[in-house]
Amino acid sequence: MSSTDLVATGKPVRSALSDSHPHVSRLVNYLGGGTDHTPCDRDLADRLLAVAPRLRREVHAHRRHTTRVVKYLASEGYTQYLDLGCGYPYDPDQDEILHAHDAARTLHDHVNTIYVDNFAPAHSRCEMSLAEDVDVAAVLADACEVAPLLAMSPVRKRIDMNRPVAALAHGLLEWVDDHQALDLLNDLHTHLPPGSALAITHSATGTEDESSVLAEQALHAAAGLAYHPRSPGHIRALLGRWTVQSPGVVPTGLWGTGYGPYAQRFPADPADFRGSYAAVALKTA
């Protein structure tokens, strides 16, 4: 449930409203080997793969990262999670790929998790998959409207706002403009309790693979999808109120490499993961 959903931002564009136009959540589902996609999604995804063959590898690297960063946060004591723009659930294909609540439960017996999306098909799939788990809920909501989200009954029932919360914004910020991204990150900082954590992943610019990133951006734009990859400096600026933790804003496949029991294993070919960045930040003031 860690794939991105454009409509989770609450700013749907024309192409997100119909099965006759590609949708980001279905694109990621296709790239990750899922079955929730349409011919138009597959057509755009295949054109994206033609200019950026790394995308399939990056989807799986992204899921491994989500598993490991949640295990890291759980090892730091976090037992409450908000997965913002969760997208479709996926079938874990190996032990090191888990959804957020399952990853946290490898360290804690009691974990409360909210999966947030406002693309109705993805939400419905999440809701069905979580129906029998009382500590986990899927809510149909705009991830960028933080105060209304936190006021929703399923959230209030499961999330104790007197204790720190870990928010996951994985693959979300690149689908909103700077104003929307900054508002979201600032609102999370304002409304989440002291000591809360924020984990992000974000599509990259400023890498040696810049030409393929620009080609991806052009293909998304032609399909009516606003796509905003950003540089590490740009991402740090958006995180201005948050205290970014070591090692900073780094390539997603390299985040955590070499330290701690839940660190990433060093990838065989780091170039496979140069298309996105990751960071963990804390609300320290």
User: Using one digit for the tens of pLDDT, what is the confidence trace for 90-144?
Assistant: 876 655 789 999 999 999 999 999 999 988 889 999 998 888 899 999 999 999 9
Measured distance CA(16)–CA(224) in Å, rounded: 8
- For the chain, give the mean pLDDT: 87
The pair of structure tokens assigned to 67 is 């598993």
Which residue has tokens 């201005």?
240
Does this model's pTM top 0.95?
no
Q: How far is CA 100 from CA 11, 34, 91, 178, 251, in A?
A: 25, 18, 13, 27, 20
- The reported pLDDT for the residue numbered 269 is 59
Q: pLDDT for 142-184, tens place per residue?
A: 999 999 999 999 999 999 999 999 999 999 999 999 999 999 9
With a pLDDT cut of 90, the percent of the chain lying above it is 63
| Rg for the chain, CA atoms, rounded | 17
